[in-house]
Structure 1
C-alpha cells in the first residue's frame, strides 16, 4: 500500500508536497496503515492533475528509464518553469510503501543531466536498514548485503540517466527474492501495479476485447457497475469475431442462453488453445427479447465507463493502485460513490487496493442516504497562488464545525480554498468587447 508520496519541483509544484495516506481516524477494529481512497479537489489549473502526473512520471522512470533514456541526452523532466532557480534545481520524488507489512522508502532526485541521488530503505523489525544509496555514480550498500558483488556489477552498467532500480530488475536475474533482493523487487512490482488514466476515454485494448477480465469475480464487478449506471446494459459477453457481423442480433432468451453455452468466450484462452479474435457484445433488455449491441453502438459515456470499470475490477482483483484524473468526466456522482465504496469495502477489496482520483464535483464531498461518500482523511485540495505555485493540503487541516459540517456547501463557499476566483467584471468586459467586434463586423 502507498503510505505517502512526496515530490518537489514538478510542473506547477515548486516546493515539496506530501500526499499522506496515513489514516487520521481509526474506527473499531480498524488497523490499516493507509486509507484505500483519496479524492483530490480544486479549481481548474490548480494542480490536481499535476499531482497524479508526478506519480505517473515516477512510475515511468522506474519501469522504463534503463531503456527509454539515452546516455548523453539527459532526462526530459518537467520542473517548475516560473523561476530560473527551479529550472536548474533537481526534482525530487519519494514514496513510502507498506509491502507485506514492512515499510519501504524509495526515492530519487534528478536534474536535466541525469540522476543526482537515489536510495532505498526498508524497516524490518521497525528499524531502518539501508538497501542502497546512490550519489551520482557512487553507491553505498547495506551492511548485510550478501549479494554485494552482483549489485556492484549491475551498478557499473547503470547509465547516469537510468535509475538503479530499473537496471537491477532488468539485469539482476541472480538477485534473490529474499533478504536484500526482496526490497528491490518488491518496490519495482509495486510500481508495476499502478494504473493511471490521464484523460477520459476507452483504452484500445478494451475495444479489441483483449482486456476483458479473466476472473469471474472481476467480470461480475464490471457488469454490476454497468447495471448500476442504468445505461440499459443487463450483461456483457465475449464472442468470436467470426460470428455473424450484424449491427445487433435480436434473440429469444432461450437462443441467447444456447449461444452463451456454445460459443461465447468469457476470458483469455488457456495455454495450448488456438487463439481467436474476440469482440465484446452488450446485452440490452428489449421487448420481448434481449438484444446484442456492438461496442461501437454504445454511447461515448458508456464506452468510457466500461474502460474504467474493467480496470477497476482488475485492480480490485489483483491488488494495486488506480489513479484516475477527472473521474467526474466518466461517472455520475452516484456511480463514483459506488466505485469509491468498492475500494473502501474490505469484502470487495480484500487485497487493499487503492484509488486516487481528482474531481471538480463537490457532490462527492457530501453524503448519500446520510452516509459520507468520503471520510475527512480521504479528502485533499489543491490551490495555486498568485506566483503560479500549487499547494496540496488535506481537509483534516480544517477543524470540523461543532454543529455539523456541510462540506459540499463550505467548499463551494470557499471555506477550504481550492475554488476559482471568478471575476464577474472581467466576464462582462469580455462579453462587451465581443459585442463591439460583432457590431463593427456587421456595419
Structure 2
C-alpha cells in the first residue's frame, strides 16, 4: 500500500513534489482507515496530470529493470525537465514509503543522473508488537549507498559481499534490483511491492487488456464467468461472451509463414509454435434474447463497451490482491455513471477487501460535484490538482491546501476556477477577430 511519494525533475515537474495517500482526519469517520484507497487528479489539458502518473510508473520500472536491463556502460533512461539550461546536469530523485505484503512499512529513495546512481537507501519500520501489528516509529536501515560505496544496516541479512561487488560493477543499477537478482530475502517484500503490486493503464486501454481477456475465455475459467456477468449487468444489451475459433485459410497461412521466414529471418519452428491456424480464437459478443440473437465481433462493438470491458477485467484482477493501480484518463469513452461505479469499487471495503489503491486522472467533475457529505464518493482530501506555473513547470497539490470546508462543493468551485488548475481559454476573442479580418 502506497503511503507517500515525492519526486523531482521528471518530465514537466522541475521542483520537488510531495504526494501522500494519508487521509486528513477532518474527512475520516471515527475508526476509518488512515490511508486512502483512491485519489483523483484534476487539471487543465497539458498541465501535467499524465506526467504525474508517469513519474510513479517510471520509478516502478526503474526498480524492476535497472539491474536486468543493459550492462555497466549503459545509460540510465530518464525524462528530466527540459525548460532549463543544461537539463541533463540536474539529478532526478524519487522517494516512497509503503506497506509491503509482509505487513511492514518501508522507506526507499534514490537519486541519479543519466549515467550513475548517486544515492540510495532502504529502511524498514519493524513490527514491535505481533499481536497488534504496531510498527516502530524509528526506521531500521537495510542499506545505504553513496555512489558505489554500499553500507548495510543491522536489519540486512544475506550475502553482502555479492551485492557490494554488483554495485561496484554496475554503478547504473539500483542496489534493490541487485538484491532481488541475488535472491536476498530481507529485501524481497520491498521489491515485490514494485514488481507485482504496481500497474499502469491508459483510459480505454482495451487493446492492452484484450489478450488477457481472450485467454480467460479460452480457458472458460471462473474469471471469464465473472467478467461475462459484469458485462451483462452493465446493460449494454450483451447477454453473453465467448471465444470462438478463427477460420484461417491454410494456403494463406503458408504464404505468410514463408514471408516471415524468407524476408524477416524468423525461426520456422518457433513460428509454428507461436502462430498456427488451430490456435487462433477471437472474442464474440452475444446480443439479443433466447429466440433472436446475433454474435458480434470486437470490431463491431462501441468504444464505450470495450472500455468498460477492459476496466471490469482490470478491477477483477487488481481487487483480488493488494495493489496500486494508475489509470490515465479514466473517463475515456465511459459514461460518468459507469466511472462512478468503477471508482466506488475501490472506495467500498466490501468490494475492496485487500485495500487496493486507485490513482487516476480525469476531467469528470461529476465525481466531485457534490454539496454536503452524505453522498460524497471522493472526499476533498482525496483530490489533487495539477497546474503549470509561469516557468512551464508543473505542480501538484491537494485541494485541502486551499482551506476547503468539509461540505464544500469541490466540483462546482473547480469548474468555476476557484482553486485554479483549470483551463483559461482566451482564444474566443482571438478567433472572432481572425474571422472578422477574413470577412
Q: Which band: TM-score by shorter chain?
A: 0.7 to 0.9
Report the CA distance shift for 1:199/1:361 in structure 2 as closer, same or farther (over 3 A).
Answer: closer
- Mean Cα deviation higher: 184-193 or 62-71: 62-71
Query: TM-score, structure 2 length as denominator?
Result: 0.82
* 1:209 and 1:238 in contact (8 A); partners too: no
CA-atom RMSD in angstroms: 2.8
Please say if residues 62 and 165 of structure 1, whose CA atoms lie closer than 8 Å, have aligned partners that are also in contact. Answer: yes
Q: Which residue of 2 aligns with 1:39?
A: 40
Q: What is the Cα deviation at residue 215 of structure 1? A: 10
2:378 matched residue in structure 1? 374
Q: For the structure 1 residues 207 and 149, does the alpha-carbon distance in structure 2 shift closer, same or farther, using more than 3 Å as the test?
A: closer
Q: Which moved more, 1:381-390 or 1:149-158?
A: 149-158
Matched residues in 2 for 1:348 and 1:215: separation? 23
Post-superposition offset of 1:209: 4.3
Measure the CA separation in 1 of the matches of 2:120 and 2:109.
Answer: 6
- Contact 1:9–1:86 at 8 Å: present in 2 too? no
Report the CA distance between 1:46 and its aligned residue: 1.0
Q: Distance in 2 between matches of 1:400 and 1:156?
A: 48
Q: Is the 8 A contact 1:8 1:17 kept in 2?
A: yes
Residue in 1 that maps onto 2:142: 131
Deviation at 1:381, TM superposition (A): 0.6
For structure 1, the 5+ residue unaligned runs are 244-274
Alpha-carbon deviation of 1:28?
A: 3.3
Structure 1 contact 69–161 (Cα < 8 Å) conserved:
no
Alignment partners' CA distance in 2, 1:420 and 1:51: 18
Structure 2: 5+ residue runs without aligned partners? 129-135, 249-277
Q: 1:138, CA displacement in angstroms? A: 0.8
Closer, same or farther: CA 239–80 of 1 in aligned 2, 3 Å: same
* Cα distance in structure 1, aligned partners of 2:348 and 2:424: 37
What SS does structure 2 have at the residue aligned with 1:96? strand
Aligned pairs for 1:37-436 within 5 A: 37-84=38-85, 86-99=87-100, 100-124=102-126, 125=128, 126=136, 127-149=138-160, 151-152=162-163, 155-156=166-167, 159-170=170-181, 172-173=182-183, 175-176=184-185, 181=186, 184-192=187-195, 193-198=197-202, 200-204=204-208, 206-207=210-211, 209-212=213-216, 218-219=223-224, 222-223=227-228, 225-227=230-232, 229-241=234-246, 277-286=280-289, 288-367=291-370, 371-401=375-405, 404-423=407-426, 426-433=427-434, 436=437
- Stretch of structure 1 that moved more, 381-390 or 391-400: 391-400
| C-alpha separation in 1, matches of 2:188 and 2:65 | 15
Distance 1:194 1:113, change over 3 A: same
Q: Quote the Cα distance in structure 2 between the aligned partners of 1:215 and 1:130.
A: 47
CA contact (8 A) 2:204 2:303 kept: no
Kept in 2: contact 1:209–1:279 (CA 8 A): no
Structure 1 residues 129 and 331: alpha-carbon distance in aligned structure 2, compared to 1, 3 A threshold: same
Deviations 1:10-55 (A, max 9, x none): 111111111110011331332x341001100000111111100001
For the 8 Å contact 2:321–2:354, the answer to whether it is kept is yes
Question: What TM-score, normalized by structure 1, do the two folds share?
Answer: 0.81
SS at match of 1:292: strand
